[in-house]
Amino acid sequence: MTDRTEAMSPLELYESLMAQGDKVRALKTAKADKTEIDAAVQLLLKLKVDYKQVTGQDYKAGSPPSESSVVHDNGPAADGADDEDTVDPWNVSTTNAKGVDYDKLIVRFGSSKIDKELVDRIEKVAGQKPHRFLRRGIFFSHRDMHQVLDAYEKNKSFYLYTGRGPSSEAMHVGHLIPFIFTKWLQDVFDIPLVIQMTDDEKYLWKDLTLEDCHRFAVENAKDIIACGFDVNKTFIFSDLDYMGSSREFYTNVVKIQKHVTFNQVKGIFGFTDSDCIGKISFPAIQAAPSFSNSFPQIFGGRKDIPCLIPCAIDQDPYFRMTRDVAPRIGYPKPALLHSTFFPALQGAQTKMSASDPNSSIFLTDTPKQIKNKVNKHAFSGGKDTVDEHRKYGGNPDVDVSFMYLTFFLEDDEQLEKIRQDYTSGALLTGELKKLLIETLQPMIAEHQERRKQVTDEMVKQFMTPRPLNFNC
């Protein structure tokens, strides 16, 4: 076995096998290149061998490994195991200054790379230039995006689902990434969107009151609305509000709960016997918006409308579970588009934290605060002295200011020139930071101005269950 599979639990191997099987079927359906199909089949066969070596059982779809096969935590990791990136819904870390190795993560999670062919196809179907997040590989991985495009080309619509865990009043720029991209998808494909505010999740995981979590959900909704979503096509909901008022939504939660064992959620999410039962049952709540009949006011009870979920890759475990359950309860599997992580100012080893004000540029920061944070805290890929930098150049791959420009600077040619000038030493670290400051200050000021225009009445309108403009 490879080091990677040796480090995986039986349940992780089982999930990877399910995902790889999905990938092989998708490639065959899409009539992909034979070399690509053969490579996917070879990986599937190898995973089956690894699974049998780890569990002593042959892999069988729909039959997860037994309790006796599960590897429990028996102490410190073996030497070298800490080289593996940590990526789960609550923790992201790596020892690599360039950040998480996303190619390895694609293999580990069993997803598919967003390659040039897919980006070109999205451009063709959308009828316009792909979003910079697609052009630059910020959204880098997918599940079943080809099937979504196949359906759309046959005039079959789909809907979008994304979410936000409201743990504080203020959001930072990293939180905007899925919403910026989701708005582009909504505009391009002219489709409805549901946004789940998981205030219940934050109450279960954080030392916060229910009242605070719900208040944060409403405040965060204002920042989301300020991204420019169409009220006629967008429903934002708090779990605390919606699950108690929608029989259909809760029915789907219960269906999902019945088809996922405690053994499975322990393997997928790392829950322990000391975790509260609310955490153990929560994944079913995050899964439920993936199914269209959870929103009868929008889709009229139809359960066959496909769902596309743009999210950061750390949320994928929820939807691997969802995709496993979907066919067993008679629903289509949701498709996904995965983004990379937005790095902390201190470097790409971790993602930003809302609890550390100096790790993030917040949407409430003043121009002066933005300037000070970038100048003081943004990790540099430059050399120690000007002379050394001029001679040897800087490393844009580890420089946080350049990483941020990759997210927010629209002009591809300008970005490439900045990369070349920094690499050659023609552009100094201070000058690069100045370019970032000049990009962020107006962007955040404009967002703050739009947020001021969001009234309580507008929030109520977005968060009221109602019909949306939707042509199926």
The CATH number that applies at residue 193 is 3.40.50.620
Same domain as 234, residue 374: no
Same domain as 302, residue 406: no
Q: According to DSSP H, which parts of 70-172 are helical?
A: 102-109, 116-126, 132-135, 145-153
Same domain as 304, residue 385: no
Domain contains 403: yes
Q: What is the H or E stretch that residue 238 is in?
A: strand 234-238
Contact 423/394 with Cβ under 8 angstroms?
yes
| Residue 27 φ then ψ, to 5° | -65, -40
Same domain as 161, residue 236: yes
Amino acid at 200: D
Instruction: Write the pLDDT tens digit of every residue in 169-208.
Output: 989 999 999 999 999 999 999 999 999 999 999 999 999 9
**DSSP one-letter code for 102:** H
Q: Which residue would you say has higher pLDDT here, 350 or 115?
A: 115
CA separation, residue 128 to residues 120, 410, 458 (Å): 10, 15, 30
Q: What is the H or E stretch that residue 164 is in?
A: strand 159-164
Instruction: Write the pLDDT tens digit of every residue in 132-179.
Output: 999 999 999 999 999 999 999 999 999 999 999 999 998 999 999 999
Number of neighbours of residue 144 by Cβ within 10 angstroms: 24
Same domain as 263, residue 131: yes
Domain contains 155: yes
Mean of pLDDT values over 415-441: 97
**DSSP one-letter code for 109:** H
Q: How far apart are CA 134 and CA 132, in angstroms?
A: 5
Domain contains 357: no
CA separation, residue 207 to residues 168, 211, 212, 213 (Å): 12, 12, 10, 10
Domain contains 48: yes
Provide the number of structural domains found in the chain: 3
Domain contains 408: yes
Domain contains 64: no
Same domain as 46, residue 116: no
The band of 8, judged by pLDDT with boundaries at 50, 70 and 90, is low
Percent of the chain residues past pLDDT 90, beyond the cut: 73
The CATH number that applies at residue 449 is 1.10.240.10
The band of 33, judged by pLDDT with boundaries at 50, 70 and 90, is confident
pLDDT confidence of residue 264: 92
Residue with tokens 């420019």: 228
pLDDT confidence of residue 179: 98
Beta strands in 20-147 (DSSP E): 86-87, 92-93, 112-113, 139-143
pLDDT confidence of residue 98: 81
Number of neighbours of residue 156 by Cβ within 10 angstroms: 13
pLDDT confidence of residue 80: 39
The band of 67, judged by pLDDT with boundaries at 50, 70 and 90, is very low
Q: Any idea which of 94-108, 297-311, 365-379 has the lowest mean pLDDT?
A: 94-108
Same domain as 400, residue 277: no
Same domain as 142, residue 198: yes
The CATH number that applies at residue 18 is 1.10.287.10
Domain contains 328: yes
Q: How far apart are CA 286 and CA 319, in angstroms?
A: 9
Range of the domain at 241: 89-346
Contact 268/321 with Cβ under 8 angstroms?
yes
Same domain as 165, residue 43: no
DSSP string, 283-350: HHHHHGGGSGGG-HHHHTT-S---EEEEEEGGGHHHHHHHHHHGGGGT-PPPEEEEE-PPEETTEEEE
Q: How far apart are CA 342 and CA 360, in angstroms?
A: 10
Domain-ending residue, one of 317, 346, 375: 346
Same domain as 258, residue 110: yes
Q: How far apart are CA 45 and CA 408, in angstroms?
A: 41
Same domain as 111, residue 31: no
Q: How far apart are CA 436 and CA 379, in angstroms?
A: 13
Same domain as 304, residue 413: no
pLDDT confidence of residue 355: 61
Residue with tokens 């009234």: 455
| 3-state SS assignment for residue 143 | strand
Contact 20/27 with Cβ under 8 angstroms?
no
Contact 292/303 with Cβ under 8 angstroms?
yes
**159 strand-pairing partners:** 307
Domain contains 342: yes
